[in-house]
Amino acid sequence: MSAAAFCAFRENRQIRRKQGRHQKLKDDRTTYQETEDRTETEAAEGAGDSSGCDHDNGNDGKKRRRRNRESGRAAGFSAPSFFEGMAAAVLILVCAALVFYALPVTGSPDSPLSAGSLKKMTTIIRLIDDNFAGDADKKTMADGMYSGIMASLGDKYAAYYTADEMEEIRASQAGKIMGIGVTFTKDASSGYMTIRSMQDGGPADQAGVKKGDVVTAIDGKDTSKLSTSEIRSLIRDDDKKEAVLTVSRGDDTTEITVKKDYIENTEIVVGGMVKGTKTGYIAISGFTGLTAKEFSAVYDELNDEGMEGLIIDLRDNRGGLVSACVDTLRLFMPKCTLVYEKDKGSEETERTCDGETPIKIPLAVLVNENTASASEMFAGAIQDEDVGVIVGTQTYGKGIEQKTWTLGDGSAVKMTTTHYYTPDHRDINGKGITPDKKVSYDSDSGEDAQFNAAKKIVEEEES
């Protein structure tokens, strides 16, 4: 064989190998692809053949294409439509989004919700279960974990509350306390607790306690040896759901078990006319859901008695609900802005007073180092609007507010969310309110120098 012939032979063999590989790839295609390829080829041949072969370019081609499509479907293949493809893509995206938002896992390794943190928490719990010598209460453990998260914020007002704790807080904010619904005095001679009055339909009333009863013991503790505050603490102790009163009526002594309940605290606002004067006195111990209502009742009563000057005592008032503070101010303030508030990332807002019933008599407000939060807001509005004179010592300095979110199981979390400013845009946080008249309180002196100073200011303005 010549060299030229050998080269030609080799080239032909290479061409045949390539054709063979190409044919092998075609043979590996799916039945559906083979069917479609044949359909396209036959249709092209039918359209270009003019030799008079025995087939019809129109109807027979359509029949073959229909048979081929049906054979493809029979084999389990179907060409997806554009809309089916789009629907599938949307479904995949929705599923991915649900997984992303439903699973509490973040990409940051430092996050408490990262996969590493969750794994660490699981490991710690397993170590406790396997090795701790004591009994680990799972609920207490979980509550401690939630409390730890809130404590990590570095906000001394942030907190986690269990469902039971939150119930107590709500009752307190509504102006209610745990108790049995009685007021009492200590008998001057015997020292025993004597029932002065009762709430109609209250726990003590329902249990059979009567006005004038002498209670010699509460839960076995002699009341003659207890101070008034100790007796009050026993009655309000919410760890015990009942109080056993040893009651003396004449010659008879009996024990009455009283179930404790949340009752209205009638000691939030107290007041009256200062003896021998026309100066009224109102003490506010806190701002709750009942404060404005009780203040209004006392304030109206004093006005009816001809009050010519007023002293409002906010000493040791730790604050409370901002809404209660504002509602109380609206009872006597002129038309003005009462407070400005600013939340994180929001515009500044204001709470105002329409000034429908402005006070027209001299006013002095008593404050001290324990006057805080909403009570400072109260004093700041009076001072900036020049409605009264602030008397006492520098206040606490809490110019921030907290918000509470209740969770699904009744528990809750609280954190600082709002900064507030007085009507003159003073920021008192960490500073407090500086009194117009600085007067210290000396407990050893036997007299209330702060009250006497406020009384003098009001009386001088009256004349």
> Residue 253 is part of a domain; what is its CATH number?
2.30.42.10
Same domain for 306 and 421? yes
Which of these, 401, 296, 423, 446, lies nearest to 359 by C-alpha position?
296
Sign of CA dihedral 281, 286, 290, 292: positive
In a domain? residue 289: yes
CB 363 within 8 A of CB 309: yes
Task: List the single range of 16-30, 186-200, 415-429, 448-462 with lowest mean pLDDT.
Answer: 16-30
Same domain for 288 and 393? yes
Same domain for 355 and 382? yes
Domain boundary among 264, 282, 298: 264
Q: How many CB atoms lie within 10 A of CB 433?
A: 29
Same domain for 258 and 274? no
Task: List the single range of 182-191, 221-230, 440-449 with lowest mean pLDDT.
Answer: 182-191
Token readout for 40 is 């396209």
Residue 63 has pLDDT above 60, yes or no: no
Residue 57 has pLDDT above 50, yes or no: no
What does the pLDDT read at residue 39?
Answer: 37
In a domain? residue 225: yes
Task: List the single range of 6-10, 372-376, 439-443 with lowest mean pLDDT.
Answer: 6-10
Angle between helices 138-151 and 115-131 (to 10 degrees): 140
Token readout for 8 is 């030609």
Range of 23-37, 38-52, 245-259 with top mean pLDDT = 245-259
Residue 21 has pLDDT above 70, yes or no: no
SS (H, E, C) 338-358: EEEEEECCCCCEEEEECCCCC
Mean pLDDT of 312-339: 96
Same domain for 195 and 258? yes
Same domain for 307 and 408? yes
Strand partners, 402: 416
Same domain for 305 and 453? yes
Domain boundary among 264, 295, 328: 264
Distance CA 369, CA 271 (A): 22
Residue 263 has pLDDT above 90, yes or no: no
What does the pLDDT read at residue 197?
Answer: 77
In a domain? residue 350: yes
pLDDT tens profile 346-391 = 889 999 999 999 999 999 999 999 999 999 999 999 999 999 999 9
Mean pLDDT of 220-246: 86
SS (H, E, C) 263-286: EECCCCEEEEECCCCCEEEEEECC
In a domain? residue 286: yes
In a domain? residue 214: yes
Same domain for 358 and 306? yes
DSSP state, residue 167: H
Asked whether the whole model's pTM tops 0.85, one would answer no
Token readout for 359 is 């006070």
CB 269 within 8 A of CB 284: yes
CB 339 within 8 A of CB 351: yes
Confidence of residue 74 (pLDDT cuts 50, 70, 90): very low
Mean pLDDT of 32-46: 39
Residue 64 has pLDDT above 60, yes or no: no
Q: Pairing between strand 389-392 and 363-367?
A: parallel
Task: List the single range of 95-109, 205-219, 280-294, 360-374 with lowest mean pLDDT.
Answer: 95-109
Same domain for 277 and 398? yes
How far CA 439 is from CA of 16, 123, 302, 317, 449, in Å, comes to 113, 59, 26, 18, 7
Same domain for 371 and 401? yes
Could you tell me which residue, 102 or 425, shows the higher pLDDT? 425
Range of 170-174, 196-200, 425-429 with top mean pLDDT = 425-429
What does the angle CA 362 – CA 364 – CA 367 come to, to the nearest 5 degrees?
170
In a domain? residue 408: yes
> What residues make up the domain containing 20?
3-44+56-74
In a domain? residue 415: yes
In a domain? residue 168: no
Distance CA 136, CA 138 (A): 6
Block residue for tokens 């809750």: 412
What does the pLDDT read at residue 287?
Answer: 95
Task: Give the phi and the psi of residue 179 in degrees, each rounded to 5.
Answer: -175, -165
Residue 43 has pLDDT above 50, yes or no: no
Could you tell me which residue, 200 or 368, shows the higher pLDDT? 368
Distance CA 282, CA 115 (A): 57
Could you tell me which residue, 13 or 399, shows the higher pLDDT? 399
What does the pLDDT read at residue 188?
Answer: 66
Mean pLDDT of all residues in the chain?
82
Residue 62 has pLDDT above 90, yes or no: no
Confidence of residue 106 (pLDDT cuts 50, 70, 90): low
Distance CA 264, CA 261 (A): 10
Q: Report the b/e string of 60-77 with b at 16+ CB within 10 A.
A: ebeebbeebbeebeeeee
Domain boundary among 236, 264, 292: 264
Could you tell me which residue, 177 or 412, shows the higher pLDDT? 412
What does the pLDDT read at residue 174?
Answer: 81
Could you tell me which residue, 430 or 230, shows the higher pLDDT? 430
Range of 134-143, 220-229, 423-432 with top mean pLDDT = 423-432
Distance CA 18, CA 23 (A): 9
Same domain for 342 and 303? yes
pLDDT tens profile 116-138 = 888 999 999 999 999 999 999 99
Task: List the single range of 86-95, 181-190, 281-290 with lowest mean pLDDT.
Answer: 86-95
Confidence of residue 107 (pLDDT cuts 50, 70, 90): low
Residue 36 has pLDDT above 50, yes or no: no
Distance CA 16, CA 19 (A): 5
Same domain for 288 and 348? yes
pLDDT tens profile 280-319 = 999 999 999 999 999 999 999 999 999 999 999 999 999 9
As for how many domains the chain has, the answer is: 3
Could you tell me which residue, 60 or 278, shows the higher pLDDT? 278
Calculated CA dihedral for residues 321, 323, 328, 332, nearest 10 degrees: 140
